[in-house]
Chains A and B, each alone.
Chain A
Amino acid sequence: MAHVHAKPVEGKIFTAPVIFLLHVAAVGLFFLIIRYMYGIGAVSNLTDHMPWGVWKIINVIVGAALVCGGYACAFTVYVFNQGRYHRFVRPALLLSLLGYSFAGFSLFYDVGRYWGLFNFLIPKYWQANSVLFEVGICVMSYIAILTLEIAPAIIEKFADMDGPVGVSLNKFYAFLDRFLFLIISLGVLLPTMHQSGLGGLAVVMGQKISPLWQSPLVSLHHLVSCIAMGYGCVIVTEFVLTDEYRDQKYMDLLGKLATFMKNFMFVFFILRMSEVLRSGALSLAFHYDHISFSFWAEMILIILGIFYVRDENARKIPRNLFLGGLFTMVGGSLYRINVYIIGFQPFKGLSYFPSVPELFITLGMISLQLAIFAIIIKTFPILEKGDHK
C-alpha cells in the first residue's frame, strides 16, 4: 500500500457538470417520491407482461457490470501480481463501491415490497435454489468488502489527525493492511459468483428469452463480458479524468489493460457466436424487426471494441484505447439490455419503452453516482499524481 501516491484532485468541487448532474438527480429524486407514494405503475411503464425494465436492467445489472473495474483490477494486481497497475485500483474500487451501492439502492425502489428485502438476512426466508438469492447475498457481502477495500483511501485523508481517533484509525489501517489478502480474495470470489449469477438469472426464463441470447452458458457470457467491461471502464475513466496519456509509460500500462480487455471480449464474442450458431438461432437475426437490429448492433459494438485495440500499434494511439474501451462498455451494456428487455418476448407483439418518470429515475441515479464520484475524488486521495483535470 505504501507505493500508492494518490492525492485529492485539485480544483472546484461543484463545477458546472457536477451541478448539472445534481439537478438531474434532483428530478429523479422527485419522481422517486411519487413512486413511493403511489406505486410503481404511477411512474413507470412496467406491466405484468414486462415486469423488469430499465431500473432492474440498467441501474442494477448494467450498472454492476460497468463498474467491474474494481474486480478486474483486483485480480490483475493481486492475483496475477501485476503491481504496475496499482494506480488504477483505487478509482476503479471507488467506482465499484458507488456502482454496487447504487445498484443495491436501486433494488429498494424497483422491487414492489422493499421492506421484504430484509428477508435476505433472515435464514427462515432463505431459498438457496434461487439464483437471485445467491446474487443478492453476494452483492450485499461484496459492498461490505468494497467498503473495506476503499477504507485505506478514506483513512489516509485523516491519517494526520491527533488524539484517540487518529490512533484508532491508524490501528485499523494497519489491521486492514495485514489481512488485505483475505479481503482481496473475497473481492475476487464474490464478483465471480454474482456476475455469473446475474447472467444465470436468465436460465429459468427458458424460452421467454429469444434463442439469440438464451443459452446454458449465459452466466459465463455475463462473467467474461463484465471483466472486459471492467477494464474498459478503467480505461475510459482514466481518459476522462486525466491527461496522463501523454506519458509513454502510462500509455504502455493502459495498453496492457486494453490487451486484457481485448482478450476477454474476444472470448466473449467466440462463446456468444458459438452458442448462437449451435442453437440455430442465427436465422432469427435476419428477421426485419427490432430484435435483429439490436442483435447486430450488439455484435458491431463488440467487434468495434475489439478492433480498436487489436494489436500493439493500434494500442499506442490514445484515441483507439478510449474508443475501444467505450465500445466494449456500450457493447456489454447492450448485451445485457438485449438479454432481459429486447430479447424477452413471452409473446409476440409485446413492446416496452420506459416512461418519462421512469427514465428520469434511472438517469437521476446514474447522475448522482457520477456526481458523488466527482466530489469524492476531489476530497479524498483516490487518483494518482501527474496533471489532473
Chain B
Amino acid sequence: MNGKQNLMERRVGRRDFLKLSAKTAAVLGLSPTIIPTLCSAFEKKDKPAVIWVHFQECTGCTESLLRATEPDLSDLIFDVISLEYHETLFAAAGHQIEESLEHAMKRYTDQYLLVVEGSIPSKDGGVYCKIGGHTAIDILHKTAKHAAAIISIGSCASWGGIASAGYNPTGAQGVTKTLKHLNLKKPVINIPGCPPNPHNFLSTVVHYLTYGLPKLDSENRPTFAYGTLIHDQCERRGHFDSGRFAESFGDEGHRKGYCLYKLGCKGPSTYGNCSEQGFNAEKKWPVSIGHPCIGCIESKVGFKQSMYDLSEMLHIANPSQLYPRPVHPQNKGISPVATGVAGAAIGSVGTMAILKSLTLKNTEEEYHEEE
C-alpha cells in the first residue's frame, strides 16, 4: 500500500495532508513551492519501515512526538511510515513483540530506518539496560547491522543525555560512539534535545524520504534545526544587547521579560531552533516563560554545567548600545598585601634610623660627661 492509498484509507483529507507538508516544509526552511514534491513523494513511495528501539530513556522523546499537533501527527505519521517496532506504542509484549522485531528486520533488511531513543550503557558489559535478556549494546548491534540509516532521537541517544551526567555510573553513551566501538559504519542523524522539538524529527524523516540525508553539521545534526545558536534567534536578544538583565528570579527585570543570561541561560552556547520554533501550538519554550535555557541539546553544556552558571559566549556578540564615557581612568587597584610590603620596607628602614639616632644620642650624652 503506498502513501496515497494509505492516506485515503485513513480518511485524511487533502487539506490536512497539505497542512502537514506545509508545516514540515516550514520546519525544514523550504519554500512552499516544495510542497507538491513532498506530496508526490508520499504518494508514490512505499511506506518505509521504521524500527524504533528504546534503551536508557524516559520515553520523553516519544511523548513529545505524540504531543505534536497541527495536524494530529500520531495517526498520520505512523501511517506515512510503517512503524514495525515500538515498545511504548505497541499493544504486544514479551515473545510476541520480539518475534515482530525479528520479522521486520528480516522483511525490510537494509531498508528500514532505525530510530534509537535513550542512551546505551557501556560499563560492566552493558548490564545496566537489558531488554528480553539482551543488553542494549547487543540489541543495537543486531538492529543497526541491517538498517539503512539510523536516527538518534533525543540527547540520550545522541550523546548520552542525562544518564551520562555526573560521573556516569553506567557508562551511558550515544549511538555514534557505540557504533564506533562496534565497528559498524552506518549513516547516523542525531536529533538532540531533551526532548527535541518533535518537528525536527518529523522534518528529518520527510527530508530523508524525499531527498535523502539532510545537510548535517560536525555532530551529525541536521543544520536546518541545529545550525544557529539559540541566542541568535532569541526574542529577548534586544534586552541582551542593551544590557537589560533579570538578576534574580522574580525581580523587576524578570517580570519585565528581560534577558536571562545572568540567570544562567545557555542560549549563547547552544545550537538549536527552540527559540525559532517553540515546542507546541503556542510556540512556547523555556525562556519565553521565564526560565533560562539549560543547554540540553549540547553534550558539553546540558547536564554538565550547572543550570545557573554563566554560559560561554560562542559567537562574537554585536557591538553594544553601551558607550564609554569621555574620561575614565584605568586603575589596577591597590592590593593590601602590596601596601603591607611597602609599609614593612619603609618601617624597617625607619626603625633602623630611629635606633641609630638613639645610639648616637647616647654618644652625645657621653660627650657631655667627658666634658
The answer to A–B direct touch (Cβ < 8 A) is yes
Residues of A within 8 A of B (CB): 45-50, 239-240, 245-246, 317-319, 322-323, 326, 346-356, 358-360, 363
Contact of A48 among B330, B334, B361 (CB under 8 A): B330
Known contacts A48-B330, A359-B345; A319/B338 CB under 8 A: no
- Chain A contacts of B360 at CB under 8 A? 239, 245, 318-319, 322
Q: Which of B260-277 contact A (CB under 8 A)?
A: none
User: 10 A-B contacts, Cβ less than 8 Å apart?
Assistant: A49-B331, A239-B360, A317-B364, A322-B360, A326-B353, A346-B329, A351-B329, A353-B339, A356-B338, A358-B338
- Chain A contacts of B342 at CB under 8 A? 353-354, 359
Tell me the minimal C-beta distance from B211 to chain A in angstroms: 54
Contact A359 B334 (CB under 8 A): no
In the bound complex, what is the Cα–Cα distance between A355 and B357 (angstroms)? 32
Q: Which of B311-350 contact A (CB under 8 A)?
A: 327-335, 337-339, 341-342, 345
Size of the B side of the interface (Cβ < 8 Å), in residues, is 22
Contact B341 A356 (CB under 8 A): yes
Contact B329 A322 (CB under 8 A): no
The chain B residue with its CB closest to the CB of A359 is: B341
Contact B329 A49 (CB under 8 A): yes
The chain B residue with its CB closest to the CB of A367 is: B345
Other than the given A45-B338, A47-B331, A359-B345, 6 more pairs (CB < 8 A) read A318-B364, A322-B360, A353-B334, A355-B338, A358-B338, A363-B341
Contact A349 B334 (CB under 8 A): no
Contact B338 A347 (CB under 8 A): no
Q: Does B351 contact A (CB under 8 A)?
A: no
Kindly list the 8 A-B residue pairs having the minimum CB-CB distance in the complex, ordered from nearest.
Answer: A319-B360, A45-B332, A353-B334, A350-B329, A47-B330, A318-B360, A356-B338, A359-B341
- Chain B contacts of A352 at CB under 8 A? 331-332
Contact B364 A319 (CB under 8 A): yes
Tell me the minimal C-beta distance from B17 to chain A in angstroms: 67
Contact B330 A355 (CB under 8 A): no
Tell me the minimal C-beta distance from B49 to chain A in angstroms: 63
Contact of A318 among B328, B331, B363 (CB under 8 A): B363
The chain A residue with its CB closest to the CB of B333 is: A45
The chain A residue with its CB closest to the CB of B345 is: A363
Q: Does B95 contact A (CB under 8 A)?
A: no
In the bound complex, what is the Cα–Cα distance between A104 and B360 (angstroms)? 35
In the bound complex, what is the Cα–Cα distance between A353 and B331 (angstroms)? 9
In the bound complex, what is the Cα–Cα distance between A363 and B338 (angstroms)? 12
Contact of A351 among B334, B345, B364 (CB under 8 A): B334
- Chain A contacts of B356 at CB under 8 A? 239-240, 322
Contact A355 B329 (CB under 8 A): no
Contact A319 B341 (CB under 8 A): no
Q: Which of B278-333 contact A (CB under 8 A)?
A: 327-333
Known contacts A353-B338, A354-B338, A359-B341; A319/B329 CB under 8 A: no
- Chain B contacts of A350 at CB under 8 A? 329, 331
- Chain B contacts of A50 at CB under 8 A? 330
In the bound complex, what is the Cα–Cα distance between A311 and B14 (angstroms)? 117
Contact of A355 among B327, B332, B353 (CB under 8 A): B332
- Chain A contacts of B329 at CB under 8 A? 49, 346-351
Contact B341 A323 (CB under 8 A): no
In the bound complex, what is the Cα–Cα distance between A354 and B331 (angstroms)? 11
Tell me the minimal C-beta distance from A380 to chain B in angstroms: 25
Tell me the minimal C-beta distance from A377 to chain B in angstroms: 18
The chain A residue with its CB closest to the CB of B340 is: A356
Contact B327 A47 (CB under 8 A): no
Contact A246 B363 (CB under 8 A): yes
In the bound complex, what is the Cα–Cα distance between A349 and B328 (angstroms)? 8
- Chain B contacts of A354 at CB under 8 A? 338, 342
- Chain B contacts of A318 at CB under 8 A? 360, 363-364
The chain A residue with its CB closest to the CB of B366 is: A246
Tell me the minimal C-beta distance from B349 to chain A in angstroms: 9
